[in-house]
C-alpha cells in the first residue's frame, strides 16, 4: 500500500538552513502573495517599494522669527505661490527664538523627507561665528534655493549734519569714539554690518544696542544716535518722508527703490556686500528628487509677475540660485561673518 504524500510544513531541523516548505506548498504561497499585493494596490494603500510621489501631503515651512517681520512676509508670499505650484498646502509655522537658531534646530532634527522646510536667512551663516555652542550643526541644514536679497542701508539722523559717507568718515576719524550707532541687538546682521563698516574704514564708532529695530530707528529719528544700518524695506517710508537720511546701500548693485543712493562699493569699499537674503532649506539628506522638484517649482514661481511685484515693492532684489550655488553663497557669507566677529570680539551664548 502506497504511503500518501504529506503537504504539511516540516519541523525545522536544528542548525539547518534548508527550506522548510516542501515543493508542493511553494506555488500556493506565491499565488497568495501576488493576490495580496494586488489587493493592497487596488485598495489605494502604498507598498514601501511603491511609495507615492512627493509631495503627497502638506509641507510645513518653519519661519524662525515672529510673524510680521521681513523674513515672515517673504515666507508667506512664497508659500502661497508654492502651494499652487506643488498642489499641496505649504503651511507657515513660526518658531522664533535664539536669533533664529531654535527654528533652524527644529528643521535640522526633522525627517529628511521634504515635508519640513526652513525659510533660510542670514542667521544660518552668522550664528556659527557668534555662538560657541549651537543647538544644531550647520551641516545639518541643506540649502535648496536662494530667492532674493534685500539690501541694508546706511542711515544717519538729519539732525547730525552728516550728508555723505565722506562726511561720516571725516567726523569719525576726527573724533574717535564720539560718534555712535544703533542696532536691533547684539549679534544681529545690522550690528555686524556696522562692525564690518568700522573694520573696513579703520574707524571707532560706539555701539548702542536696542531691543529691536523699531526702537533703534526711533532713536535715530530723535537724534539720540548718529547712524545705523537697517533693512531697506523697514525704513523706506521714513527715508521717503525725510525722517532719516540714506547715505548708501550695502549690496553691489543699486536698489531700484533708491536708485539715487550710491553703493558702499562705489565709495571706497569695493568688497562691501551685505544683504538680508532669503530662500529655502531643509534637513541634510533631502532626496535628490525632492531638491530637484523644489528647485523647478521655485524657478517657476519666481517668474510670477504678481510675486515679483510684491517682493520688489518691499525693496527685494530677486535672483534665483539653485541648491549648489546657494551652498557656495552661504559658505562665503559664513566666512565673512567669522572674520567680522573675530575683529569685533563678539561672542554670544
pLDDT at 99: 85
Q: Which residue has the cell 510645513?
A: 60
Of 229, 157, 246, nearest to 195 by C-alpha is 229
Q: How far apart are CA 156 and CA 124, in angstroms?
A: 28
Q: What is the largest CA-CA distance in the chain?
A: 121
The phi and psi torsions of 229 (rounded to 5 degrees) equal: -105, 145
Cell matching residue 180 = 555712535
User: Which domains, ranges and CATH numbers included, belong to the chain?
Assistant: 59-149+276-344 (3.40.190.150), 151-266 (3.40.190.10)
Give me the tens of pLDDT residue by residue for the chain, a chain 349 residues long: 444 444 433 444 444 443 333 444 444 444 444 444 444 344 444 434 334 699 999 999 999 998 988 899 999 999 999 999 999 999 999 999 888 999 999 999 999 999 999 999 999 999 999 999 999 999 999 999 999 999 999 999 998 899 999 999 999 999 999 999 999 888 888 999 999 999 999 999 999 999 888 899 999 999 999 999 999 988 999 999 999 999 999 998 898 889 999 999 999 999 999 999 999 999 999 999 999 999 999 999 999 999 999 998 888 889 999 999 999 999 999 999 999 999 889 988 6
Residue with cell 515679483: 308
CB 148 within 8 Å of CB 316: yes
pLDDT at 320: 95
What pLDDT, on the 0 to 100 scale, is given for residue 12?
A: 40
pLDDT at 317: 87
Cα–Cα distance between 249 and 193 in angstroms, integer?
Answer: 11
Three-state SS for the chain is CCCCCCCCCCCCCCCCCCCCCCCCCHHHHHHHHHHHHHHHHHCCCCCHHHCCCCCCCCEEEEECCCCCCHHHHHHHHHHHHHHHHHCCCEEEEECCCHHHHHHHHHHHHCCCCCCEEEEECCHHHHHHHHCCCCCCCHHHEEEEEEEEEEEEEEEECHHHCCCCHHHHHHHHHHCCCCCEEEECCCCCHHHHHHHHHHHHHCCCCEEEECCCHHHHHHHHHHCCCCEEEEEHHHHHHHHHHCCCEEEEECCCCCCHHHCCCCEHHHCCCCCCCCEEEEEEEEECCCCHHHHHHHHHHHHHHCCCHHHHHHHHCCCCEEEEEEHHHHHHHHHHHHHHHHHHHHHHCCCCC
User: Per the omega criterion (within 30 degrees of 0), is the bond before 55 cis?
Assistant: yes
Residues 106 and 281: beta-carbon distance below 8 Å: no
- Cα separation of 196 and 96, whole Å? 26
Amino acid at each position: 500500500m502506497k504511503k500518501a504524500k504529506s503537504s504539511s510544513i516540516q519541523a525545522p531541523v536544528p542548525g539547518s538552513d534548508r527550506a522548510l516548505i516542501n515543493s508542493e506548498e511553494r506555488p500556493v504561497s506565491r499565488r497568495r502573495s501576488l493576490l495580496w499585493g494586488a489587493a493592497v494596490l487596488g485598495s489605494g494603500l502604498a507598498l514601501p517599494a511603491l511609495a507615492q510621489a512627493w509631495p503627497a501631503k502638506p509641507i510645513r515651512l518653519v519661519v524662525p522669527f515672529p510673524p510680521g517681520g521681513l523674513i515672515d512676509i517673504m515666507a508667506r508670499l512664497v508659500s502661497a505661490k508654492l502651494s499652487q505650484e506643488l498642489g499641496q498646502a505649504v503651511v507657515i509655522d513660526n518658531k522664533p527664538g535664539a536669533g533664529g537658531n531654535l527654528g533652524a534646530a527644529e528643521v535640522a532634527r526633522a525627517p529628511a523627507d521634504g515635508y519640513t522646510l526652513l525659510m533660510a536667512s542670514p542667521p544660518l551663516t552668522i550664528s556659527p561665528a557668534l555662538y560657541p555652542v549651537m543647538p544644531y550643526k550647520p551641516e545639518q541644514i541643506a540649502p535648496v534655493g536662494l530667492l532674493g536679497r534685500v539690501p541694508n542701508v546706511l542711515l544717519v539722523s538729519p539732525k547730525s549734519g552728516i550728508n555723505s559717507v565722506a562726511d561720516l568718515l571725516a567726523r569719525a576719524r576726527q573724533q574717535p569714539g564720539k560718534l555712535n550707532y544703533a542696532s536691533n541687538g547684539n549679534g544681529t546682521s545690522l550690528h555686524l554690518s556696522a562692525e564690518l563698516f568700522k573694520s573696513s574704514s579703520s574707524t571707532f564708532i560706539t555701539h548702542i544696542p536696542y531691543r529691536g529695530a523699531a526702537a533703534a530707528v526711533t532713536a535715530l529719528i530723535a537724534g539720540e544716535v548718529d547712524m545705523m544700518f537697517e533693512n531697506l524695506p523697514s525704513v523706506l517710508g521714513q527715508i521717503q518722508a525725510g525722517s532719516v537720511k540714506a547715505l548708501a546701500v550695502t549690496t553691489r548693485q543699486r536698489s531700484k527703490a533708491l536708485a539715487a543712493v550710491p553703493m558702499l562699493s562705489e565709495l571706497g569699499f569695493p568688497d562691501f556686500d551685505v544683504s538680508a537674503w532669503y530662500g529655502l532649506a531643509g534637513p541634510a539628506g533631502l532626496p535628490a528628487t525632492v531638491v530637484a522638484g523644489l528647485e523647478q517649482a521655485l524657478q517657476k514661481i519666481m517668474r510670477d509677475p504678481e510675486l515679483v511685484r510684491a517682493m520688489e515693492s518691499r525693496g527685494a532684489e530677486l535672483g534665483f540660485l539653485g541648491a549648489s550655488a546657494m551652498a557656495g553663497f552661504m559658505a562665503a557669507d559664513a566666512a565673512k561673518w567669522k572674520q567680522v566677529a573675530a575683529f569685533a570680539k563678539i561672542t554670544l551664548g
